[in-house]
Structure 1
Amino acid sequence: MSANGTPDPPALGCLITDLRTSHGWSQSRLATELGQVAGHDTVNREQVSRWENGKRTPAAFWLRHLATVLQVPIEILERARVDRRNFLTAAAGTAIAPMVASDLIEEGFAAALGVKHPSVEDWEEAVETYGRDYMTQGAAEIQKRLSADLVVLQQQLDAPCMWATAAKLATLYAKTFPGSDGAKAVTWYRHAATFADRSGDETTRVWVRGRAAIALGYEGAALGVADTLASQALEMDDKPSLGRVNAVMGRAHVRALRGDHQGARSLIDEGRRAFDQAGSDDAESDYAIPWWRFNVFASLLAARMGDEQLADDVQTEAARNLPESLPRFKTHLEMHRGLMLTRVGDRDGGTAHARAALEELPPEKHSLTLRMLMEEIEAA
């Protein structure tokens, strides 16, 4: 239920609304686009409104055409049909290998029976631990551990602070799926935003949306969703914060990938101003944004725009401050240099440089983001 006691719109309806607004379309415009793709005008603004409000569910025919005009794989719309209340249970059965399903079920029942009941402090410590571990460990290991903890946490969502914890962990969980699959990652980012809203904590609400925006923008995936989440974060609170830094830089990546380089450069400047007021210390955590990490965000932006001078400046700054304990991010910078080489015409040299950097990093330290970056470089 929402804060005023009215039912929450279903996940599918909210997703259609988010995707529509990311295109800057009215409900009437979406109806027109659907009619053109379908070859006949059998949908109108009122029908789109009913879909978004959950009064009607699009038939399979219209679901396919919605996926086409909203530029997302149909899987993302199909998954959004799942009742929000059942998503954690579904995660136990679909997001992880069957061999660990038994352990998850046991964890869930143990928590329900009170056999295991972590305190608020325990969960706060878990959030900090996951934030540190994400910087060095592979996605598969993080995903397995988080699946178990989310099943336990599901039993304790009886206070706003616990919803805030769930929001932070769900955001990290989303990052263990590639944003390019158009389904799991975006679904979990949306769940995280819903949890943050339930917490009532404005800082968490902004941070979750900003973190999702920079994650998707950095990966170059689901750009419409990234832009929508960034917009929501920026509209919620205009005070400098880590969430705002993430949102601005996420939107900058969306602009760069859509060819609006002037807009992207303006957003880099805006992000820098927000960082100057809200940047983290040098904590090695996914929940922090130290100076070196801000420059990693800007490094990929510069490479995507083909701006050699900016790339050289921010890569130098990032490398100067990057902790030796985080070799994966050194690989990021080297792959950005490879992308830059492809942008200035040396496609073979740039691809070889990026591939060599990736191969130098031990496979167990590879991330989904690095693999997606390699694909972007090869396609450049």
Structure 2
Amino acid sequence: MAIGALIRDLREARGWSQGRLADGINDAFGTGLSREYVSRWERSKVEPGAFYLRCLSAVLDVPLAVLEGEVKRRTFLSDVATTAIAPVVASDLLSIGFAARLRGGPSVDDWESRLATYGTEYMSLGAADIQRRVAGELVVIQQQLETPRLWAVASRLMTLYAKTFPGSDGAKAVNWYRLAAEAADQSGDDDARVWVRGRAAIALGYEGASLGVADVLADQAIAISDKPSLGLLNAIMGKAHAAAVRGDTETARRLMNRGRHVFDRAASDEQTSDYAVPWWRMNVFVSLLAARLGEEKVAAEAQSAARSELPSALPRFATHLEMHRGLMLARSGDKRGGARYARAALDALPPEKHSLTLRMLMAEVEQA
């Protein structure tokens, strides 16, 4: 995607005109930017310079590195090898990749089985462990991307890989989410296209990070298909969290109600997979959303409902619920008590079970 198209998508996700974007930059940075100049950016007639990239980053809620990255797109393998993996490991990955190309790799059915396993393991393992293992799988599968089903598998693996980076870092997670969306488009499978974008939107919205990108991906998912699905549910709830973080309570409540209706038609029976949204997990989404909105009764009810069905094998999500309670305390005025409560819940979870999302949630409680 060119920088102009990205600026347009981010602007439209906020429901802004070109003039409104120009005014936002002018108000925040004291510039004299015109609507016509925004139009020239979006039509790729001219690229914004370093100063205006910083302005766009701030006003549109997108990491600066994501905007800068549109000027110089990196290849799939170099993203794996240079942004996340130590040189010695990168050497091993290169060897694995060439071997897969020369000798063949797993069948499509094998890949889908692996995908299901990673979806389950993500729920209980630490981010670092998942990141190392999925990086190796991505290097192999990129040598086999010759059928739509393999593109669909790869797009889901990329989405999982993106979640191992902190949303606060921004560039790495967001670049991988967007690459996953492009891979899903190659599959021609609307279910995969919606799911990848929706999963990215709920991840970023829940974390309260890169809200502009969360909105763009959510809007794309909703535009692809309005058929009730887990991908659509994730997109709606991700957009709701983004609205709540911004303080747009009316939009957040409307989207939460819409999400509930979609959940009624698309809920999962699977309880322990990242590719599923059962009753307890929907209530985890609602718990944090209500806490952010200051709706203590709704949050408390969601926390109770989630605890009643939360599998004991997933203690990390019980910690999420306790930290949501800490956020409610902080937002109600007891900032010190809320932070202490959330910190105690996080410290009670073994460090190897911690996730990047939990650490970001702790920061949100402390800043409430």
| TM-score class, shorter | over 0.9
The alpha-carbon deviation at position 32 of structure 1 amounts to 5.9
Q: Displacement of 1:103 after TM fit? A: 1.1
After superposition, residues 5-20 of structure 1 pair within 5 angstroms as 9-10=1-2, 12-20=3-11
Q: In 1, Cα distance between the equivalents of 2:31 and 2:198? A: 38
Match of 2:89 in 1: 100
1:229 and 1:215 map into 2 onto residues whose CA distance is 11
Q: CA offsets, 1:81-120, max 9 Å, x none?
A: 3336x1332321221222311111111111221x241111
Deviation at 1:20, TM superposition (A): 2.1
Does residue 171 in structure 1 map to residue 163 in structure 2? no
1:301 aligns to what? 289
Give me the CA root mean square deviation: 2.0
**Corresponding position: 1:39 with 2:31:** yes
Whole-angstrom CA distance in 2 between matches of 1:80 and 1:49: 13
Task: Give yes or no for the alignment of 1:328 onto 2:321.
Answer: no
Contact 2:10 2:215 in 1 (8 A): no
Aligned to 1:189: 177
Amino-acid identity (%): 60
1:199 maps to what in 2? 187
Where does the alignment leave 5 or more consecutive residues of structure 1 unmatched?
A: 1-8
Mapped to 2, the partners of 1:146 and 1:122 lie a distance apart of 15
Of 35, 49, 52, the match for 2:42:
49
Match of 1:21 in 2: 12
Distance 1:308 1:63 in 2: 39
User: Structure 1 pair 63/125, CA: closer, same or farther in 2 (3 Å)?
Assistant: same
* Whole-angstrom distance in 2 between the partners of 1:136 and 1:23: 35
Deviation, 1:245, is: 1.0
Structure 2 gaps of 5+ residues are none
* In 1, Cα distance between equivalents of 2:182 and 2:327: 36
Alignment deviations for residues 98-154 of structure 1 (CA, whole Å, 9 cap, x no partner): 2311111111111221x2411111110111011011001111111111111111111
Question: Is the Cα–Cα contact under 8 Å of residues 22 and 224 in structure 1 kept in the other structure?
Answer: yes
* Structure 1 position 46, deviation (Å): 4.8
**Aligned-partner residue type, residue 254 of structure 1:** A
1:70 to 2:60 alignment: yes
2: CA distance between counterparts of 1:35 and 1:352? 40
Change over 3 Å in CA distance of 1:239–1:322 after alignment to 2: same
Distance 2:241 2:108 in 1: 36
Letter in 1 for 2:162: A
- Number of aligned residue pairs: give it: 366
Distance (whole Å) between structure 2 residues aligned to residue 282 and residue 149 of structure 1: 24
Q: 1:143 to 1:13 in 2, by over 3 A?
A: farther
CA distance in 2: counterparts of 1:33 and 1:262, whole angstroms: 22
Q: How does 1:1-380 map to 2 (within 5 A)?
A: 9-10=1-2, 12-27=3-18, 29-30=20-21, 37=29, 39-40=31-32, 44-51=37-44, 57-83=47-73, 86-113=75-102, 115-380=103-368
TM-score by length of 2: 0.93
Partner letter of residue 15 of structure 1? L
CA pair 48-317 structure 1, distance change in 2 beyond 3 A = same
